[in-house]
Amino acid sequence: MKVYTDSQLLDRVKSLPDYKGIPQGHWILGVRSAEDKPDAFDDKFYHFIGETFRQVIKGTTNPGVTILKSFGKFNPNGAAVVKSDEWYYDLWKFGKHHGKIDALLQLGTKIKVYRDGDKDNKSEEQGLLQEGFFGINYHSNGYDIDAKATGTVVGGWSAGCQVPCEIQKYKKQMQEFKLSKQPTFTYCLLKEF
């Protein structure tokens, strides 16, 4: 994936048609890799406070192959692939993913997802486009927050959720989010540009 400056990222998000302003507090900017290797953590999440960059974390913005090939228990129309080049203002609230780990939960506003139903190894923005509450959370790829490392394969860790894989950076981020007492967290997802 390309390396971006803060100003390149901010200029790009400000150019999106649904841009309403940079959030005042903590927010997340995801960038989906153009290469998009199946089951790989090849995307990035940029943490900002207003226009000030805090950190970047590797992760995935795509469902894992396990879900892409067997999405039926989640939705018969296909696996959820979050629509990119969109702002999702006030999308998430701080909470516990499956009651186990600090995370951002989709308890704020609706999100747009494509239903990728072709059952191949590739996560694609194709198929039925839906907008709603689908449990698209932001959580790590492990429940042991004190682990030095987590796995390198997405697998079942994402059924559409946005999943960072650098657990120690994620832990620091969640501590900041919790201390902020911010009521909601905004997300913007870009395609690599």
| pTM summary value | 0.96
Q: CB–CB of 68/116 below 8 Å?
A: yes
The Cα 160–Cα 137 span in angstroms is 8
> pLDDT tens digit string along 101-141?
999 999 999 999 999 999 999 999 999 999 999 999 999 99
The pLDDT score that the predictor gives to residue 74 is 78
Residue 2: exposure state from Cβ atoms within 10 A (0-12, 13-18, ≥19): exposed
Residue 22: exposure state from Cβ atoms within 10 A (0-12, 13-18, ≥19): middle
For 40-58, letters b (16+ CB in 10 Å) and e give: bbbbbbbbbbeeeeeebbe
pLDDT tens string, the chain, 193 residues long: the values are 999 999 999 999 999 999 999 999 999 999 999 998 999 999 999 999 999 999 999 999 999 999 999 887 778 899 999 999 999 999 999 999 999 999 999 999 999 999 999 999 999 999 999 999 999 999 999 999 888 888 889 999 999 999 999 999 999 999 999 999 999 999 999 999 9
The pLDDT score that the predictor gives to residue 115 is 97
How many C-alpha atoms does 105 have within 13 Å on its Cβ side? 11
Q: Which residue has the tokens 């429940």?
A: 143
The pLDDT score that the predictor gives to residue 72 is 75
